[in-house]
Structure 1
Amino acid sequence: MALILVTGASSGLGHNTAKALADNGHDVVIHVRNSARLTDTDDTARWKGVVTGDLAKLDEIRGVARQASRFGRFDAVIHNAGVLHSPEVVTVNTVAPYMLTALMDKPARLIYLSSSMHRTGSTDLRRLTSGTASYDDSKLWVTTFALAVASRWEGTSSHAVDPGWVPTRMGGAGAPDDLIAGHQTQVWLATHHDVTPSTGGYWYHRQVQTPHPAARDEDFQARLIQAVEGHTGVPLE
C-alpha cells in the first residue's frame, strides 16, 4: 500500500480523493488549513495523519512541508488545494504546490490539480507578483510546472489533472460535471502502474488531453520556475 499526501482535503474533491484512497487501504495523510476544518471525528480516524497550515502564507507553506516530511518519503503527493476567487489565488494555486514540491523529498508520483480554464491563462509572469493574476493564470502556471517537473525529475512521474466542473463548494451546486469522476483520475494516477504516458500527461477523466501550448514550452517552463524561485527564495533542485 502507498503513503499518499492530499492537500486541501477537508472537503470537496480533496476529501473525496483522500477517502477513496483510504478506503482502498492506502496510508493517507491529509492537509487542512486548520484543525477546525476537521469536523467529523469518525472520519478523522481513517487518516494516517493530518498536517495543518494556510497555503496562502509562505511561512505556513514551509510549515506544511516540515510536518509532512515527518512521515517520510511519500509514494504520491496530490496537490489538490485551490481557491477560485481570492487575492491569494496565485499563492494557493501555484506557489504552494511549487514550494511543497521543492521543499519535500521527491515522491514517486506527483499530481497537480489544473482546470480547463488554464487554456485562457496568461503567460505574462509579471502578474505573478503584481496581484493582477486570475484563476485561469494560476492554473496555466501550475499545469506548466507539473509538466516541467516531468521533464526534469527522472524517477518521479508528474501529471496535471482537469477534474471537470463539478458540484463542490467551489464549483457550485449547478456544476454540470460528474462529482465522482472528479476524483477518480487522481486516485488512479497515484496508485496504478499501467499509466500511459507514465509522466507529463494532462488528464481529464483518465483520458490524455492537449493543454495550452505554453505548458509544454521549455522556455516558458524555465521562466516560470525562475519567477517563482525569485518570488519565494526556494530553488527547485
Structure 2
Amino acid sequence: MTRQKVALVTGGNRGIGLEVCRQLAQQGLHVLLAARGEAQGEQAAAALHSGGGAVTAVSLDVRDDASIQTLAAHVQRAFGRLDILVNNAAVLLCEGDSALMTPPEAYQDSLETNFMGPLRLCQAFVPGMRERGYGRVVNVSSGAGQLSSMGGYAPAYSASKAALNALTRLMAHAGGPRVLVNSVDPGWVRTDMGGPRAPRSVEQGADTVVWLATLPEGGPTGGFFHDRKPLPW
C-alpha cells in the first residue's frame, strides 16, 4: 500500500478536471483520472504521463451506484485509502430556457449528475477519510449556484449547483474537523462547457480547486471559494 497521497478527480479527461489532474500529479500525488469513457480516460492519462507524475485512468459513471462501488473497491485494494476527492463531473442542460420552460427531466438529470453523483462518492469515501483522520473533498460548483446572486441563468444547472453547495456544508459537518470539505466557483472558463469566449483559462479555473485539495491541517472547511477567497452562499 502506497503512502503517496491518492486523489480521485471525476470528469478528469478534459477541461478543468484534466488540468486539476495535471497540477496534482505535478505536486507528487497519485491521481486517479476518472472518466465515463474508458478510451477517453486512457488517452487523457497518457497525455499527462509525458509531463511526469503518476496518473491512472479509471472508469466511472457518477450516475451509476454500481460503478461507484466498483471503483471504491478497486481503490481500497490498490491503495488502501483515498485521500482527496474532487467532484468535478457535471452537465449543463437547457441553458437558454427559463425556469418555467425548463422540463422537469432536465432538473432531474442535472441533479443526478451534479448532486447525486457527488453525494454517492462522498458516502463511499468520506467515512474512510474520517476514520483515518485525513481527507480533502472539493466540490466544483459555480457562481450560478450562489443563492445571493442567483437570477434566471440555466435553471436546472443553477439549482443542482446550489444543491451541491448545500452538500458541501452537510459533508463538512459529517466528515469531522480533519476532513476538509469545500466548494469552488472556478469562474467562466474556456472549456467545452464554458465555450471559447470565456475569459478564464483552465489553469485559472483549476487553481483554487488544487489549493483546496491540498490544504494543510487546520484549513477552512464548509466554505465556498473563488480565486482562493471566500464567497457568500
Q: SS in structure 2 opposite 1:29?
A: strand
Q: Which amino acid aligns with 2:194?
A: G
Q: Retained in 2: the 8 A contact 1:7–1:78?
A: yes
Q: SS in structure 2 opposite 1:137?
A: helix
Q: 178-187 or 79-88, which moves further after superposition?
A: 79-88
Q: Retained in 1: the 8 A contact 2:48–2:55?
A: no
1:79 aligns with 2:103: no
Take 2:146 and 2:74, find their aligned partners in 1: how far apart are those partners?
34
Q: Which residue in the other structure is 1:9 paired with?
A: 12
Q: What's the CA shift string for 1:135-154, capped at 9, x where partnerless?
A: 11110111110111112221
Q: SS in structure 2 opposite 1:134?
A: helix
Choose from 21, 24, 29 the match for 2:24: 21
- 1:40 Cα deviation (Å)? 4.9
Q: Retained in 2: the 8 A contact 1:110–1:156?
A: yes
1:56 aligns with 2:63: yes
Take 2:170 and 2:12, find their aligned partners in 1: how far apart are those partners?
25
Q: 5-14 or 21-30, which moves further after superposition?
A: 21-30
Q: Which residue in the other structure is 2:211 paired with?
A: 188
Equivalent residues, number: 199
Alignment of 1:140-151 (within 5 A): 140-151=162-173
Q: Retained in 2: the 8 A contact 1:160–1:201?
A: yes
What is the identity percentage for the equivalent residue pairs of Structure 1 and Structure 2? 29
Q: Which residue in the other structure is 2:47 paired with?
A: 43
Q: Which residue in the other structure is 2:186 paired with?
A: 163
Q: Which residue in the other structure is 1:129 paired with?
A: none
Q: Which amino acid aligns with 2:90?
A: G
Take 1:6 and 1:98, find their aligned partners in 2: how far apart are those partners?
14
1:111 aligns with 2:138: yes
Q: SS in structure 1 opposite 2:208?
A: helix
Take 2:37 and 2:92, find their aligned partners in 1: how far apart are those partners?
19
Q: Retained in 1: the 8 A contact 2:13–2:44?
A: no
- 1:62 Cα deviation (Å)? 2.9
Q: Which amino acid aligns with 1:172?
A: G
Take 1:176 and 1:193, find their aligned partners in 2: how far apart are those partners?
30
Q: SS in structure 2 opposite 1:39?
A: helix
Q: What TM-score do you get using the length of structure 2 for normalisation?
A: 0.77
Aligned-residue CA RMSD (Å): 2.2
Q: Which runs of 4+ in 1 moved over 6 A?
A: none
Q: What TM-score do you get using the length of structure 1 for normalisation?
A: 0.76
Gaps of 5+ in 1: 122-132, 212-237
Q: SS in structure 2 opposite 1:164?
A: coil
Take 1:27 and 1:63, find their aligned partners in 2: how far apart are those partners?
19
